[in-house]
Amino acid sequence: MHAPRLDWLSQYREDAFDPAQAIVDAHHHLWEVPGNNYLREELQDDLRSGHNMRTTVFMECLSHYFREGPEALRPVGETGFVVGQTPVQKDGSARLCAAIVGWADLLLGDAVRPVLEAHVEAGQSRFRGVRSRPTWHDDPAVHPSRDGRAGLLREPAAHTAVRALGRMGLSLDIWVYQTQLDDVEHLAAACPDTVLVLNHCGGPLFAGQQADVFGEWRARLQRVAAFPNVRLKLGGLAMPRMGFGFELAERPVSSERMAQAWKPWIDACIDAFGVDRCLFESNFPVDKVGCSYGVLWNAFQRIAQGYSTADRDALFAGTAARTYRIEGVLTQP
């Protein structure tokens, strides 16, 4: 994990490009890592970027698991940790982390249900689903994630667990590389009643470095988009593994330059899935290695400025609110 360089980021700031646009950050983390803490205080500092941030969605990140008890239930500690970090307001709403997505082992099959029930209880009405990260690549230089393995999403036990999510009204977030999108197709077909949320534009590895990635990635993504139960998060492109290299610049780059580089990819995502199945995400603090929070949202707003008001509302807030069942996002004063 690359820690953001705060002194480097401080060299460049921008005012909000569209400060009135309501935004739900559909994907961020909270963690306690020496030299790289990202907790409530750091998140709140980023949210003060001048944008109209309505609320956020927490995404699991191996943070504060229980250290004792049954192995399958230890990830429930993360859900409780997030609730403790982000208490609700007097009106009962959550300014931070209105939705929480945790982790459970999909290979538990039917046995995943008590784990999900424990998450729901710990989440105090905010738990919305789990995420699986089976990112795997045959190139050993590509860093795999915790549950990275080939074919996990094709396992019968995983299908059983994912169907259990759907029966409980919960969704499954998925982080895979574009080379694994066939597995997402397989899962979507096997579990049509569960909402699947594909992370980070479908994982176009080396997008900024290899010209042949775009065509292969887009073709695979379009096949996944044929399944109506799949939604797509727009973001994650500032991660070094995506290959755009903004983190290597002498000074942080402008949102205009980022938008120019990312627009073909974001537009292809929206063309495939439509605005009602796409949702913008910050992926902070992971993407903070390449840009500040305000500049990131400015880049997204520049990319989306040609869309209608209704379409922008869907991309920046509405789709996230529907996906994660967050009420009142677009009706707040």
> In this predicted structure, what is the pLDDT of residue 224?
99
> In this predicted structure, what is the pLDDT of residue 239?
95
DSSP string, 150-178: TTGGG-HHHHHHHHHHHHTT-EEEE---G
Which residues make beta-bridge pairs with 279? 233
Residue 240: inside a domain, yes or no?
yes
- Which pLDDT tens digit goes with each residue over 216-229? 999 999 999 999 99
> In this predicted structure, what is the pLDDT of residue 84?
95
Q: Please choose, from the candidates 118, 112, 207, the residue with its C-alpha nearest in 3D space to the C-alpha of residue 162.
A: 112
Strand, coil or helix: what is 96? Answer: coil
What is the distance, to the nearest Å, from the Cα of residue 47 to the centroid of all Cα atoms in its chain?
16
Residue 192: inside a domain, yes or no?
yes
> In this predicted structure, what is the pLDDT of residue 139?
78
What is the distance, to the nearest Å, from the Cα of residue 205 to the centroid of all Cα atoms in its chain?
16
> In this predicted structure, what is the pLDDT of residue 109?
98
Query: What six digits make up the tokens of 166?
Result: 């759907």
Residue 20: inside a domain, yes or no?
yes
> In this predicted structure, what is the pLDDT of residue 1?
61
> What backbone torsions phi and psi does residue 136 show, to the nearest 5 degrees?
-145, 145
Which residues make beta-bridge pairs with 132? 174
Domain of 155 in residue numbering reads as 6-323
Residue 331: inside a domain, yes or no?
no
Residue ranges for the chain with pLDDT beneath 70: 1, 90-94, 140, 143-147, 208, 332-333
Q: CB of 187 within 8 A of CB of 157? A: no
Residue 71: inside a domain, yes or no?
yes
CATH number, residue 51: 3.20.20.140
How many domains does one find in the chain? 1
> In this predicted structure, what is the pLDDT of residue 138?
82
Residue 330: inside a domain, yes or no?
no
Residue 333: inside a domain, yes or no?
no
DSSP string, 245-289: -GGGSSSPPPHHHHHHHHHHHHHHHHHHH-GGGEEE---BTGGGG
Using the structure block, give the residue that is written with the tokens 């529907």: 322
Q: What is the number of other CB atoms lying within 10 angstroms of the CB of residue 31?
A: 17
> In this predicted structure, what is the pLDDT of residue 9?
95
> In this predicted structure, what is the pLDDT of residue 148?
74
- Which pLDDT tens digit goes with each residue over 156-200? 999 999 999 999 999 999 999 999 999 999 999 999 999 999 999
DSSP string, 37-70: -BSHHHHHHHHTSSSEEEEEEEE--S-S--SSS-
Q: CB of 148 within 8 A of CB of 133? A: yes
Average pLDDT of the residues of the chain: 94
> In this predicted structure, what is the pLDDT of residue 43?
96
Alpha-carbon distance values, 238 to 108, 151, 279, 283 (Å):
33, 27, 16, 9
> In this predicted structure, what is the pLDDT of residue 94?
65
Using the structure block, give the residue that is written with the tokens 């309501």: 22
Residue 1: inside a domain, yes or no?
no
User: What is the C-alpha to C-alpha distance for residues 108 and 267, in angstroms, rounded to an integer?
Assistant: 37
Strand, coil or helix: what is 230? Answer: strand
